């Protein structure tokens, strides 16, 4: 997919011969280039990537630098990682969701929290999460049998939110008269309204997280406190959802602490159990406040990103019958009609290549912020301390010097035995000490869900539908209606 827009037209005329960073034209008074990023972010980034390794711009009244190219991005994320914090977007995210491992600006705290959380995402735990994903995906596909058409974006958000809620809190979803109006679609393991150990978790997540995710993107990219304080229906709904989800996270931590203090042993451990049981080298664990912030981080980071990837993947399969047939044949050969397990992940080779190409073309983390503590050198230019630095992952993943026909979807780029693109040009989960802890969890969700859908049904595009990318906190497709046929 080639993205075009006003940003591409303006940037193509930039003067590229200067050794200094190219300055982006067209800044608005007060707002700088934020409107251009909001109006056509992908066209802006694609053109900026071709302009040079370092581009200067303004976000609001503040200067910012856009970093293009594998070498300077890798240097910032790996070699010079200790000289940066995460930038102003994460300053605002910390206020909204807490000071967790994904948002904290405290390097020592980040290292400690990352070490405490790592066991919760090790191979043994991922096996447990695969079972939850398979159950949830099977239930969703069963529910589609009564439908001719689905909104795949909404379906994948509901699915990933259910998976993360169950993985965090060991809860099954339910529907029916006792579930309340906010219960959302029935994605419980039995598909018929059965309840797991604590159905509150899925109900609360499905009721609040979509509202929270819908409001965070603009607040992080273009923070305007006065606008956020206005009593508009959107702001009121956002603050209500945020307060409700924070209160529920506190409640779950308190209940698990009380149960542990009373000697209760969970029949099935969940991610929250692992978080609360983790201790550092000195035998100290997390405080309730720290555990709360990590819950919020997992909820925010573990839903919209994976949901967007799955929605893109099913959109791509629907538009390419031959590609979809290949994925279906692999699912049939590997699974033989049964639900997938963790042991099957290594055998879903073609599906993994398809997922990798989706992550290349449509990375959920399309842009990433950093802010240097001190003056730093980027691409031969001195960047002052405190500057906003943005890493252009979207442009990196479409570098024409590395990827032949970069806008074409080609899973063959990742075939074993083929000399493919170098990995530094594929960073869907970041790199270095701040790389995504949940990479294995996310990839297992994508592979398992794709295999379940492929083995049970065929998806087809709705004629006349134009699917447009939406680049906010994550890069996800707009409305994606698909026709579903049972196999």
Which pLDDT score is estimated for 218? 67
Give per-residue pLDDT as tens, 303-334: 889 999 999 999 999 999 999 999 999 999 99
DSSP SS3 for 102: coil
Neighbours of 256 (CB within 10 A): 22
Q: Quick one: pLDDT at residue 120?
A: 86
- The string of pLDDT tens digits covering residues 339-375 is 999 999 999 999 999 999 999 999 999 999 999 999 9
Q: Quote the pLDDT of residue 234.
A: 85
Query: Would you state the pLDDT for residue 199?
Result: 74
Q: What is the pLDDT of residue 216?
A: 76
pLDDT in single tens digits along all 487 residues of the chain: 433 333 333 433 333 333 577 887 778 888 888 788 778 999 999 988 988 899 998 877 778 999 998 999 999 999 999 999 988 778 777 877 888 888 888 888 989 999 999 888 888 788 889 999 999 999 999 999 888 899 999 999 999 999 999 998 874 333 333 333 333 444 443 333 333 446 788 888 888 888 888 777 667 666 677 777 888 888 899 899 989 999 999 999 998 888 888 877 766 778 898 899 889 888 899 999 999 999 998 888 888 899 999 999 999 999 999 999 999 999 999 999 999 999 999 999 999 999 999 999 999 999 999 999 999 999 999 999 999 899 999 999 999 999 999 999 999 999 875 666 777 899 999 999 999 999 999 999 999 999 999 999 999 999 999 999 998 888 999 999 999 999 9
How many Cα atoms occupy the beta-carbon half-sphere of 422 within 13 Å?
11
What whole-number distance in Å separates Cα of residue 337 and Cα of residue 148? 22
The DSSP line for 447-471 is HHHHHHHHHHEEEEEPTT----EEE
Is the CATH number of domain 1-98+366-424 3.10.105.10? no
Which bin fits 409, alpha (ψ -120 to 50), beta or left (φ > 0)? beta
What is the rounded CA–CA span in Å between residue 484 and residue 451?
Answer: 15
pLDDT (0 to 100) of residue 197? 46
Query: What pLDDT is recorded for position 426?
Result: 94
Confidence (pLDDT) at 39: 84
Strand-pairing partners, residue 32, are: 28, 59
pLDDT attached to residue 175 = 33
Residue 215: predicted pLDDT: 79
Report domain extents, the chain. Answer: 1-98+366-424, 119-124+151-301
Backbone angles phi, psi at 25, to 5 degrees: -80, 170
Q: For the chain, give the mean pLDDT.
A: 85
pLDDT on residue 89:
73
pLDDT of residue 155: 96
Cα-to-chain-centroid distance, residue 294? 16
The predicted pLDDT at position 190 comes to 39
Q: 428-473 pLDDT, tens per residue?
A: 999 999 999 999 999 999 999 999 999 999 999 999 999 999 988 8
Q: 3-state class of 62 per DSSP?
A: strand
Q: Rounded to two decimals, what is the model's pTM?
A: 0.87
């Amino acid at each position: 997919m080639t993205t075009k827009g006003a940003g591409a037209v303006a940037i193509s005329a930039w003067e590229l011969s200067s050794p200094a960073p190219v300055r982006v034209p067209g800044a608005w008074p007060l707002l700088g280039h934020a409107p251009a990023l909001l109006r056509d972010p992908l066209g802006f980034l694609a053109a900026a990537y071709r302009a040079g390794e370092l581009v200067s711009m303004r976000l609001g009244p503040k200067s910012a630098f856009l970093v293009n190219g594998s070498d300077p991005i890798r240097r910032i994320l790996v070699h010079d990682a200790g000289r940066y914090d995460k930038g102003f977007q994460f300053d605002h995210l910390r206020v909204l969701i807490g000071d967790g491992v994904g948002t904290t600006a405290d390097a020592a705290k980040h290292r400690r929290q990352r070490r405490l959380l790592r066991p919760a995402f090790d191979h043994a735990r991922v096996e447990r999460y695969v079972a939850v994903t398979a159950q949830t995906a099977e239930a969703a596909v069963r529910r589609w049998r009564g439908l001719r058409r689905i909104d795949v974006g909404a379906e994948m958000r509901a699915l990933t939110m259910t998976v993360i809620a169950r993985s965090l809190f060991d809860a099954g979803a339910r529907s029916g008269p006792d579930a309340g109006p906010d219960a959302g679609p029935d994605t419980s393991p039995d598909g018929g309204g059965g309840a797991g150990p604590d159905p509150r978790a899925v109900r609360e997540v499905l009721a609040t997280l979509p509202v929270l995710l819908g409001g965070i993107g603009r607040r992080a990219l273009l923070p305007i406190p006065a606008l956020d304080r206005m009593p508009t229906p959107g702001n009121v709904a956002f603050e209500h959802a945020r307060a409700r989800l924070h209160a529920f996270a506190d409640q779950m931590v308190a209940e698990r602490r009380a149960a542990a203090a009373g000697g209760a042993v969970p029949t099935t451990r969940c991610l929250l159990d692992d978080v609360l049981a983790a201790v550092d080298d000195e035998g100290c664990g997390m405080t309730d406040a720290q555990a709360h912030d990590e819950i919020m981080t997992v909820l925010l980071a573990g839903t919209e990103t994976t949901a967007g990837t799955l929605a893109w993947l099913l959109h791509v399969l629907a538009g390419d019958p031959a590609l979809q047939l290949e994925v279906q044949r692999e699912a049939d050969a590997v699974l033989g009609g049964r639900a997938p397990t963790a042991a099957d992940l290594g055998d879903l080779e073609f599906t993994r290549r398809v997922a990798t190409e989706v992550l290349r073309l449509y990375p959920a983390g399309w842009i990433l912020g950093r802010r240097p503590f001190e003056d730093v050198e980027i691409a031969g230019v001195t960047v002052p301390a405190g500057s906003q630095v943005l890493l252009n992952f979207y442009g990196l993943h479409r570098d024409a010097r590395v990827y032949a026909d970069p806008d074409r979807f080609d899973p063959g780029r990742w075939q074993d035995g083929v000399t493919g693109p170098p990995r530094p040009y594929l960073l869907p989960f970041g790199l270095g000490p701040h790389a995504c802890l949940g990479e294995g969890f996310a990839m297992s969700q994508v592979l398992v869900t794709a295999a379940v859908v492929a083995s049970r049904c065929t998806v087809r595009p709705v004629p006349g539908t134009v699917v447009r990318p939406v680049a906010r906190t994550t890069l996800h497709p707009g409305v994606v209606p698909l026709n579903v046929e049972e196999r």
